[in-house]
Amino acid sequence: MSDMVITTLLIVSLFALLGSGVWIGLTLAGVAWIGMELFSSRPAGDAMAITIWGSASSWTLTALPLFVWMGEILFRTKLSESMFKGLAPWVNALPGRLLHTNILGCTIFAAVSGSSAATCATIGKMSIPELSQRGYPADKIVGSLGGASTLGLLIPPSIIMIVYGVAAEVSIAKLFMAGVLPGLMLGALFSGYLMVWALLNPSQVPRSDAHFSFTDKLRESRHLLPVILLIGGVIGAIYSGVATATEAAAVGVVGALILSAAQGSLNASTFRASLLGATRLYCMIALILSGAAFLTLAMGYIGLPRHLAEFVTGMNLSPVVLIVALALFYMLLGCFLDGISMIVLTMGVILPTVTAAGIDLIWFGVFVVIVVEMAQITPPVGFNLFVLQGMTKREITWIARVTMPYFFLMVLALALLWWFPQIATWLPGRM
C-alpha cells in the first residue's frame, strides 16, 4: 500500500476520533494502534503498553509537573499579581499595554524551563485570569500566549537542541548560544505584531489613566523582586551546575512556596488547590504525551517519516529550494509528531544532504527548532493548542485560528534567518 493511502487513512481516522469526542491522548493512541495493526508486523498492544509506560515514567518529564505546580502556586497567591504590578508601568505606554506581559513572561520563563508546554502552562496560569479580568480580548490573550510559549524550545536551555546536537554531532553550547538572538528576535516580532494590532484597533485595548514617571516605574518594580528572586534561583541552579532542569523545577516549587508564605497568601486551602490543579493539568498533558509517543513509534514502524525524508533528499535541490522544501516537510510532519521525534526519525537521512549543500549545521539547528516551534501551534496535533484547550476550555479550531498570526511571524523569522544567517551564527562564532 502506498504512503499516500496510508497517510490518508490515518488522517481520516484521526479526525473521525476527534469528531466523536474522544479525548486527545486516547485519539492519538487510537490512530497509532490502527496504523500498527494494519501496516506493521509488531503486535500493537505490546508496543502500546511499553511505549506508554516508558513515556509516563520518564525522569526528564518530571520537570514538567513541577513547573506546572510552580505556575499553580503563583496563580493562587499574590505573586502573579505582583508580577503584573511590576511589569505594568514598563509596558503601559506601549500599544497593546499588558498584552506584552505574555511575551515578556514567556521569554523569561523560557530561559528556565526549556519546554514550550511548561512555559505555556505556567505563564498561562498567571496571565489568562489577570488579563481577562482587565478586559483584554480573549483572542489576543490566548493567541499571544500560544505563540510566545513556543520560545521555550529556542531560548536556552532547550531540550530539543540537546537532542539535535547529539544527532548532528555539533557543540550543544554553541547551539545554545545560537538560539539566543533568534529567540529575542521572535519575541520582538510578536510584540511588534501586538503593537500594530493595537494601533489599528485602539477601541479593543482597555484604557489606562495611569501615567508613570521613571521614578514611579522604579518604585513599582519592587513588586517584581519576588518573581526575579524565584526565576534567578531556578536559572542559577541550572547554569551553576548545582541542579539539573528537573531538580531546578523542584527548587522553583520550594521557592514559590516560601515566597507565597512570606507574603501571607499560602494556607492549607491554597496549597491543596494548587496541588490538585497541577495534578489535573499535568494528567491531561501526560495523557497527550503518552498518545503522541505511541503515535511516533507507530510512524517509525510504518516508515512514513523516513520515506518522506528520502523523497525530499532525492530531489537534488539547490540550497534555498532545499530549505523551503525541508520547512514544508517539517511543517507537515509536525502536524502528527512531536519535535524530538521529528528530529530523531529524520536527521540520519536529512543531515548528509544538508552538509552536501554547504549549510552550516549550527544554523540548521536553529532553523529546525523554529520549524518545530511552528508545529507546536499547527493543527491537528499542535501540542500547545491542546495545552491551551485544557486551560481555556475553548474549541481547538478557535485556538488554532487566534494563534495563526504567530505562525506566519515564525515564517518571517525563517526568511530573516536565511537572509541574515549571522543572527544565528554570530554569537557561536565568538566562543
Condensed to tens digits (0 to 9), the pLDDT of residues 125-182 reads 778 888 888 888 999 999 999 888 888 778 776 767 877 887 787 887 788 788 889 9
338: region left, alpha or beta (phi > 0 left; psi from -120 to 50 alpha): beta
| Residues with pLDDT less than 50, the chain | none
Split into its structural domains, the chain has a count of 1
Query: Pick from 399, 429, 423, 418: which is nearest to 146 by CA?
Result: 399
Query: What confidence score (pLDDT) does residue 2 get?
Result: 65
Query: What confidence score (pLDDT) does residue 345 get?
Result: 64
229 contacts 208 by C-beta, under 8 angstroms: no
Note whether residue 201 is domain-resident: yes
Please give the Cα distance from 58 to 78 (Å, whole number): 33
92 contacts 145 by C-beta, under 8 angstroms: no
206: how many CB neighbours lie within 10 A of its CB? 11
Q: Read off the C-alpha cell for 379.
A: 493543527
Q: Is 153 helix (H, G, I), strand (E, B) or coil?
A: helix
Please give the Cα distance from 78 to 395 (Å, whole number): 30
59 contacts 158 by C-beta, under 8 angstroms: no
Note whether residue 125 is domain-resident: yes
Q: Read off the C-alpha cell for 146.
A: 500560544
Note whether residue 190 is domain-resident: yes
Please give the Cα distance from 163 to 167 (Å, whole number): 6
Note whether residue 152 is domain-resident: yes
List phi, psi (to 5°) of 385: -65, -40
- Rounded to 5°, the CA angle 409-411-416 comes to 90
Query: What confidence score (pLDDT) does residue 230 get?
Result: 78
Note whether residue 411 is domain-resident: no
Domain that holds residue 132: 60-283
Note whether residue 188 is domain-resident: yes
